[in-house]
């Protein structure tokens, strides 16, 4: 028998029901919202007052009606930015995947962590990779993460290192700040960052950032098992990564 999960924040659940009643069910006044949600009018009124204070709900004082407030716009903009990036990058990253038959990822930055936004599995067998869309990973231990770190101004980079321990994930994870600094400087010069089995054993990643109007939008990478990598393939991949970066950024600039 499955054990029931304990739910915290019941007020948040009720607030969500109220917002849904207003936005989806088109309930407008206190009575309609209370009836639609099954929440008492007293509790509904108190939650609506709080939602008003943080601009999730706007009240028309004359008619005593409610509608969704402007606070949602900031989340809408963030969602559309991420969604549009995924959609825009997809054909270019698929082309990169198809050229080499190896796994390609798209990632974003959130709270100094790498977030996997999209994944295109390779057409060839690969050492087991733990990546999946929605997963988070430390910046210092991934190709995409190091590409992102290479864009950090010195003060922000130092702050990151002061607040994030370089904990080993594999035997190859870089845990020396001086070594990491050197790699990031190389990444700045070449627009390329590398992960040599630092998050997944025996997997080599080459990555670069996606920049538009000097703003970091994300990063992408190609991953290949170490046993399939040689100098010729690595050189070809580096060229294609830079070319793909240029194509994506050119498209973003339109």
Q: DSSP states of 54-102 as a string?
A: TTSEEEETTTTEEEE-TTHHHHHHHHHHHHHHHHHHHHHHHHHHHHHT-
pLDDT in tens, the chain (254 residues): 344 455 567 889 999 999 999 988 888 999 999 999 999 999 999 999 999 999 999 999 988 999 998 887 777 666 656 668 899 999 999 999 999 999 999 999 999 999 999 999 998 766 657 788 888 999 999 999 999 999 999 999 999 999 999 999 999 999 999 999 999 999 999 999 999 999 999 999 999 999 998 899 999 999 999 999 999 999 999 999 999 999 999 998 86
Spatial CB neighbours of 106, under 8 Å, sequence gap ≥ 6: 85, 86, 89, 93, 116, 117, 118, 119, 218, 219, 220
CATH architecture of 10-70: Orthogonal Bundle (1.10)
Strand partners, 110: 113
Could you tell me if 66 and 57 are in contact, meaning their C-beta atoms sit under 8 angstroms apart? yes
What residue has token string 């407008």? 28
What are φ and ψ of residue 34, in 5° steps? -65, -45
Q: Given this model, what pLDDT does residue 134 score?
A: 86
Could you tell me if 210 and 187 are in contact, meaning their C-beta atoms sit under 8 angstroms apart? no
Q: Outline which parts of the chain fall under CATH 1.10.10.10.
A: 10-70
Q: pTM score > 0.85 for this model?
A: no
pLDDT digits (tens, 9 = 90+) for 56-74: 999 999 889 999 988 877 7
Q: Outline which parts of the chain fall under CATH 3.30.450.40.
A: 75-252
Could you tell me if 22 and 67 are in contact, meaning their C-beta atoms sit under 8 angstroms apart? yes
pLDDT digits (tens, 9 = 90+) for 106-132: 999 999 999 999 999 998 766 657 788
Strand 57-60 relative to strand 65-68, pairing: antiparallel
**Hey, what are 199's tokens?**
């998050």
What residue has token string 């040599």? 196
> What CATH number does the domain located at 75-252 have?
3.30.450.40
């Amino acid at each position: 028998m499955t054990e029931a999960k304990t739910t915290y924040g019941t007020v948040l659940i009720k607030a969500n029901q109220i917002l849904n009643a207003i936005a989806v069910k088109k309930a407008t006044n206190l009575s309609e919202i209370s009836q639609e949600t099954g929440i008492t009018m007293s509790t509904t009124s108190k939650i609506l007052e709080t939602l008003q204070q943080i601009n999730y709900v706007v009240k028309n004082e004359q008619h005593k009606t409610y509608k969704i407030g402007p606070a949602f716009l900031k989340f809408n903009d963030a969602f559309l930015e991420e969604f549009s990036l995924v959609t825009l990058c997809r054909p270019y990253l698929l082309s990169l995947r198809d050229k080499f038959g190896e796994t390609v990822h798209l990632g974003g930055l959130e709270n100094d962590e790498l977030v996997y936004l999209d994944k295109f599995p390779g057409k060839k067998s690969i050492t087991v990779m733990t990546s999946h869309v929605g997963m988070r990973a430390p910046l210092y231990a991934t190709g995409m993460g190091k590409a992102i770190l290479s864009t950090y101004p010195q003060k922000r980079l130092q702050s990151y290192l002061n607040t994030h321990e370089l904990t080993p994930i594999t035997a190859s994870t870089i845990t020396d700040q001086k070594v990491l600094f050197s790699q990031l400087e190389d990444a700045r010069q070449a627009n390329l960052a590398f992960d040599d089995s630092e998050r997944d054993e025996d997997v080599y990643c080459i990555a670069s950032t996606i920049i538009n109007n000097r703003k970091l939008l994300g990063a992408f990478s190609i991953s290949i098992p170490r046993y399939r990598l040689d100098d010729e393939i690595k050189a070809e991949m580096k060229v294609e990564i830079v070319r793909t970066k240029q194509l994506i950024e050119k498209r973003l600039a339109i």
